Structure 1
């Protein structure tokens, strides 16, 4: 948790087991503007070296 930010200790993410570890992967949604710093802190704190984004090319006409 960051000083002065009571809700900075949570991001909607889950560990996913892999072949060599029960916490080999992390799944989360793409960050919003207000959670962008939390997302990158997660990447930094968990020593993430690869980020994969899965998405469709068009959603809701966008």
Structure 2
């Protein structure tokens, strides 16, 4: 099992976020072949690590409701 050090990860909040505490996700960039995803309301919580194919499928599914 591969381990990733996300201590210095640069997290980016979804453009669909708002300042009212709604549901939103953050992703980190810079890891090859991996997209770390977390709940922006729980920055120290669990992180989901997605491969590029899974990330693309996730984004398409969300975009199509």
Band of TM-score, shorter chain:
under 0.3
TM-score (norm 2): 0.27
TM-score (norm 1): 0.28
